[in-house]
């Protein structure tokens, strides 16, 4: 099968905390790590790098999967929302504190309904873009192949979509 794909990279700065982190009982704890300090429950930030790959079985009338400009336009509102914000789960015990800080000091927070791990953010971005494509009537022509989000230069998560 002949297929084309394109990848667009985005960058944003954001803070978060993995409020559910408990290394002593998480998957992989039995691998022998002696470190059980739950660092990511603390407030911290990342210089995120996001890679979005879309594909198609055919090219459009301009010999493209999609112009990079359109992919960028679709994701820029979400990137702008995340950039320089604190991404916090509405179920986080600190959520109400952050809502008050936002109100009192106009701090930028982005409330989500999941613990903002790299894996969950990748899925959230995938779903956001899929909804945009669906509303634009593009899902018969292109599909979102994968969303990769890098938290650091050595740590990334990937969400792989379903192919048409």
Tell me: the pLDDT tens digits for 69-107? 999 999 999 999 999 999 999 999 999 999 999 999 999
CA distance 45 to 83: 11
Q: What is the mean pLDDT of the chain?
A: 90
End-to-end CA distance of the chain: 12
Which residue in the list 5, 37, 44, 84 is annotated as catalytic? 84
Does 70 qualify as catalytic in the annotation? Answer: no
Radius of gyration (Cα) for the chain, nearest Å? Answer: 18
**Domain 4-160, CATH number (from 3.40.50.300, 1.10.760.10, 3.30.1510.10, 3.30.479.10):** 3.30.479.10
Report pTM: 0.90
pLDDT of residue 105: 95
Does 151 qualify as catalytic in the annotation? Answer: yes
- Which residues of the chain register pLDDT less than 70? 1-2, 21-38, 163-164
Does 84 qualify as catalytic in the annotation? Answer: yes
């Amino acid at each position: 099968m002949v297929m084309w794909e394109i990848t667009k990279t985005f960058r944003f700065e954001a803070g978060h905390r993995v409020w559910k982190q408990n290394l002593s009982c998480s998957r992989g704890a039995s691998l022998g790590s002696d470190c059980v300090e739950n660092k990511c429950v603390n407030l911290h930030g990342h210089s995120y790098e996001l890679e979005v790959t879309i594909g198609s079985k055919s090219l459009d009338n301009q010999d493209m999967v999609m112009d990079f400009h359109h992919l960028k336009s679709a994701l820029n509102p979400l990137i702008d929302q995340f950039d320089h914000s604190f991404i916090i789960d509405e179920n986080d015990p600190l959520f109400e504190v952050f809502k008050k800080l936002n109100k009192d000091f106009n701090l930028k927070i982005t409330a989500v309904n999941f613990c903002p791990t790299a894996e969950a953010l990748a899925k959230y971005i995938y779903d956001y873009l899929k909804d945009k494509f669906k509303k634009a009537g593009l899902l018969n022509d292109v599909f979102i192949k994968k969303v990769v989000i890098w938290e650091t230069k050595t740590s990334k998560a990937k969400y792989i979509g379903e192919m048409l």
